[in-house]
Structure 1
Amino acid sequence: MFRVLTALLLASFALATPVIGADDWPIFRGADRTGVSKDTGLLKEWPADGPPLAWKATGIGVGYSSVSVSGDKVFTMGDADKDCFLFGIDRKTGKKLWELKVGKTGGNYQGPRCTPSTDGELVFALGQHGDLVCASAKSGKEVWRKSLPKDFGGEVGPWNFSESPLLDGDRLVVTPGGPKAAMVVLEKKTGKRVWAGAIDGGDAAGYSSVVIANLGGVKQYVQLMANGLVSFDAKTGKMLWRYGTKSDRFGGNTANIPTPIVSGEFVFAAAGYGRGAALLKVTKDGERFAVEEVYWNKALTNKHGGVILVGDKVFGDRDDSGNPFCADFKTGRVIWTRKGGEGRGSASLTCADGKLYIRYSDGWVALVDATADKYTEISAFKVPNGKNNTWAHPVVVGGRFYVRELDTLWCYDVTAK
């Protein structure tokens, strides 16, 4: 009888515990943080006025937060009235279900930059002033709270805290920056510190987000800081290697923003403001790690639209010019650059079912062939309410295309009928 009761309890617990599925997008750039969707069976082209609108959500404040999607909910952030909020939205209807105050509004640019992270049960959000909150995904009720500046001595540049926290099992990884806790790992359910990793001489937080790498048989957390790329041992918090601190690479740059890309033993990192991108080969040499610069290409700049790897090609917007590029990942050779077409200003992008979904700062979005050796635009339309400086990254998951335009979130149905 005891074994039967135990089995029933375990089964009920399993049913009650949310599970992240293929139709979810639980963190910034997706579960694997590549920015590439696993969706298939999508529209091959769009009608002239765009794909069918499933719903739109309004009243989510001003901000640059994209969306995370899990189960029956969508999460985002925004500055509304005098505060910064985390929002829970119904995935089927777009109805706003709850809101939680994260911190004060404002900053160098008004609005939060973080995309919330969720495991389906809890949701995590970082306000632009370093307020880190954990809430119930179901109700929005606050579970715990930290301040990156106050609790960890965090330091960031003039554009405020911008990263999207990394969820890794029972851990939450964030980057306060500063002399003692450049990166910290917390227990996701309690906020209790697991470890804090320091950099010799310190470094401020950049505006990028942490990625997981397994290099030389060691699990690592890799991050682009204000003055270079850095890696910490995921188990101990020991700094393992650092790259690009000089002023001809990432050091002293106005802002380092794009999320790094990890592919096997290679790490790709880019920055804007005329800097460029590096491909690194990272290997273990005894107890130390050797970092070989395969190339540095000044043509592969990217400011805040993000860079993605699809097959052997890397795609991004050159700085924030609105001229996306395609380059060979292993050599850095530019294959094509967009010239002309609809859409102006910074271009952010994702990929799904062999197509690039590119959204421009002025509200235009384009569907582009990700396999062609020349820029091939298939369809384009203008999202209503499109305005300048709408930089939130697009998301394609579960047959839906999410586009954030300031205080409005548009959800389009892109499934092939």
Structure 2
Amino acid sequence: MKLLYIILMLFCISLYAQEVIDPKIPKVYEIKKAADRKAIKQTELTIYNPPKPLNPEARTHDWKKFLGPTQNAISTETHLLKSFPKSLKPIWEVRKGQGYASVAVVDRRVILFHRVRDQEIVECLHSENGKRFWKYAYPVDYRDRYGFGNGPRCQPIVDGEYIYTLGVKGKLHCLHLRSGQMIWQRDLDKDFTLRSSFFGVGATPLLEKDLLIINLGAEGGPSVVAFDKRTGKLVWGCEKQWGASYASPISANIRSEKYVFVFTGGESRPSHGGLLMIRPIDGKVVLRFPWRARRYTSVNASSPLIIDNRVYLSECYGAGGILLEITAQNKHNILWKNRALQTHFMTAVHKNGYLYGVDGHGPANAPLVCIELKSGKEKWRHEPKWPVEIATKRGKRTFHFPPALGSMIVVDGRCLLLGQYGHLVWLDLNPNKYVELDRTHLFPARETWSMPSLSQGLLYVCQNDRGLDQSKPRLLCYDLRQK
């Protein structure tokens, strides 16, 4: 009986493997032996001041994954500034090209991924002064059909030895962290024929042990794939109907077993997509839950938020938010659904039984909202309007901007909010009312959509477009270390 079971298992695996034949296995290059490169000041860099030393009792971490080390925008860093100085200035800044990719930070190295002219560029910078260790570039020809930036959308991810980047046209690279050498590369559009997408490829890959998991969306499938992170070879693929969204895959434990959660749903007629709960060891879809607005011009862009055995999904084109309970049999129960908190491409954060996030498409009429996790009941909503003073030909004028499509990090007992127009705010997240602890303004720009990255008490913020003060796109590093 046991022998028969083994034979059946091997037969099933062989059938499954036939469905995921790699269309083009990439070449893997050996790392050339060389001394670590020294960081050298580049012409695009301006250094202002060195950062303060870290408090000896401070807890810190790297920022290697999308949404931070725990993939839920919750940071364990401590001993950060309780209030901002009158004018918070960067300790260094470097000019950047087009794109909306956040930076990764690991081992005092910052990985910047952007586009300059007709090249996508990966740069490795020193975290405390911005000096460049190395730069890697390759050609790209993407043009955004809606007039937004033509650069990459996906944050680089790092495992401590290698960097993985996914460009706006689907070019996937594995680079050596210390040297910048290319280990392997793939053109996913050519290899798999990606479906048409509104704004190019935009879901950051996920590293799960030795697998690089991507919300792919190939024509006719697979929708989600896993590559061997060392070789780039396809390990598995799953789902055929649902296309790639702009929501990055998230891994989490449900009853001590690891699963990958992918919120699919991009450009399609008719519109379709939803949640896939996938077993990473073999790519088996154990739960498939449709959740997508009916509008053609809709996308799913907020990553799933997993809290114990519950999954919160949200989108802002009509379906709204929903909380699922995953049962012991990997079935689902709908606990509630509503339209109180309809996130666009920010992912809501959870604190002490409540969800907080930006409701709506924005930039106008996109308030901050608090809802109770257990019931979905709205506790409060508030849309502050913050002043910005800008010099014009007729003198200085004061404008007022909302948080709009901002990002939130729960850290050090509070919440750090980066608003779309360059405001940085400390909030006290509580279910009773909106409480603002302190606020500063970094720069007056309109597309501050990238999630800020926090590591070693330093905050990295991308200005993605030309500012209202004519400042150019740049990456800025701010010292939030407490003395």
State TM-score, norm by structure 1: 0.87
Which one is further off, 355-364 or 104-113?
A: 104-113
Cα pair distance change 1:329/1:245, threshold 3 Å: closer
- Decide whether the 8 Å contact of 2:247 with 2:345 is kept in 1: no
* Partner Cα distance (2:154, 2:239) in 1: 23
- Equivalent pairs: percent with the same residue? 26
**What is the identity, as a one-letter code, of the residue corresponding to 1:416?**
Q
**Pairing 1:400–2:458 present:** yes
Change (3 A) 1:371 1:103: farther
- What corresponds to 1:255 in structure 2? 299
- 2:125 aligns with one of 78, 89, 93: 89
Q: 1:244 aligns with which of 287, 290, 296?
A: 290
Show structure 1 runs of 4+ deviating over 6 A: none
Shift of 1:335: 2.0
Residue of structure 2 aligned with 1:299, choices 318, 337, 340: 340
| Structure 1 partner of 2:395 | none
- Residue of 312, 331, 350 corresponding to 1:309: 350
Paired residue for 1:348? 407
Of 137, 141, 162, the match for 1:101: 137
Secondary structure in structure 2 of the residue aligned to 1:185: strand
What RMSD over aligned residues (CA atoms) do the two structures have, in Å? 2.1
2:326 to 282, 291, 307: 282
Residue type of the alignment partner of 1:177: G
Q: Is the 2:340–2:371 contact (alpha carbons within 8 Å) kept by the matching residues of 1?
A: no
Match of 2:221 among 173, 180, 196: 180
Quickly say closer, same or farther: Cα 1:381–1:217, change in 2 above 3 A. closer
Moved more, 102-111 or 159-168: 102-111
Deviates more, 1:238-247 or 1:345-354: 238-247
Question: Are the aligned partners of 1:105 and 1:111 in contact in 2 as well (CA < 8 Å)?
Answer: no
Describe the shift of the 1:245–1:44 C-alpha distance in structure 2 as closer, same or farther (beyond 3 A).
closer
Equivalences, count? 388
Structure 1 match to 2:45: none
**Partner of 2:482: helix, strand, or coil?**
coil
CA contact (8 A) 1:364 1:381 kept: yes
- Would you tell me which structure has more strand in proportion to its own residues? 1
How many Å apart are 1:154 and its aligned residue?
A: 2.9
Distance 1:176 1:159, change over 3 A: same
Deviation at 1:269, TM superposition (A): 1.1
| Residue of 179, 197, 212 corresponding to 1:157 | 197
CA distance in 2, matches of 1:253, 1:244: 17
When residues 275 and 91 of structure 1 are mapped into structure 2, their CA distance, relative to the original with a 3 A threshold, is same
Deviations 1:263-309 (A, max 9, x none): 11101111123431111001133xxx311111111111011222222
Question: 1:6 corresponds to which residue?
Answer: none
* Rounded Cα–Cα distance in structure 1 between residues aligned with 2:478 and 2:141: 29
Look up the equivalent residue of 2:190 and give its one-letter code.
K
What secondary structure, in the 3-state scheme, does the structure 1 residue paired with 2:331 have? strand
**Contact 1:67–1:75 (Cα < 8 Å) also in 2:** yes
1:108-157 CA-partner distances (Å, limit 9, x unpaired): 23221100000121000110111111111112221111122222333252
Q: Pick the aligned partner of 2:310 from 266, 271, 276.
A: 266
2:198 is the alignment partner of 1:198 = no
Is the contact between residue 153 and residue 180 of structure 1 (CA under 8 Å) also seen in structure 2? no
Cα distance in structure 2, aligned partners of 1:333 and 1:216: 27
User: Cα distance, 1:375 vs. partner?
Assistant: 0.8
Return the alpha-carbon distance in structure 2 between the equivalents of residues 217 and 252 of structure 1.
Answer: 38
**1:235 correspondence with 2:281:** yes
**CA apart distance, 1:105:** 4.8
Q: Distance in 1 between matches of 2:476 and 2:291?
A: 40
Q: TM-score, normalised by structure 2?
A: 0.76
Change (3 A) 1:401 1:141: same
The one-letter code matched in structure 2 to 1:351 is: V
Deviation at 1:89, TM superposition (A): 1.2
Are 1:53 and 2:90 counterparts?
yes
Residues 350 and 184 (structure 1), Cα distance of their counterparts in 2 relative to 1, 3 Å cut: same
Counterpart pick for 1:128 among 152, 163, 168: 168
Candidates 18, 25, 38, aligned match of 2:76: 38
> Match of 1:223, SS?
strand
Distance in 2, matches of 1:154 and 1:177, equals 6
Given residue 178 of structure 2, which amino acid in structure 1 is its aligned partner?
Answer: K
1:171 aligned to 2:211?
A: yes
Stretch of structure 1 that moved more, 368-377 or 130-139: 368-377
Mapped partners of 1:372, 1:415: distance in 2: 28
Amino acid at match of 1:387: A
User: Hey, what's the Cα distance between the residues in 1 that align with 2:277 and 2:242?
Assistant: 13
Change over 3 Å in CA distance of 1:383–1:377 after alignment to 2: same
Q: Is the 8 A contact 1:173 1:210 kept in 2?
A: yes
AA at the equivalent of 2:290:
G
Do structure 1's residue 67 and structure 2's residue 107 form an aligned pair? Answer: no
2:190 alignment partner, SS class: helix
Deviates more, 1:68-77 or 1:370-379: 370-379
Distance in 2 of aligned mates of 1:245 and 1:320: 17
Match of 2:481 in 1: 415
CA distance in 1, matches of 2:143, 2:418: 24
- Report the Cα distance in structure 1 between the residues aligned to 2:97 and 2:103, rounded to whole angstroms: 13
Asked if the contact 1:313/1:327 (under 8 Å) is kept, the reply is yes
Say which of 369, 376, 394 aligns to 1:325: 369
Q: 1:210 and 2:249 equivalent?
A: yes
State the shift of 1:369 in Å: 1.1
Q: Larger Rg: 1 or 2?
A: 2
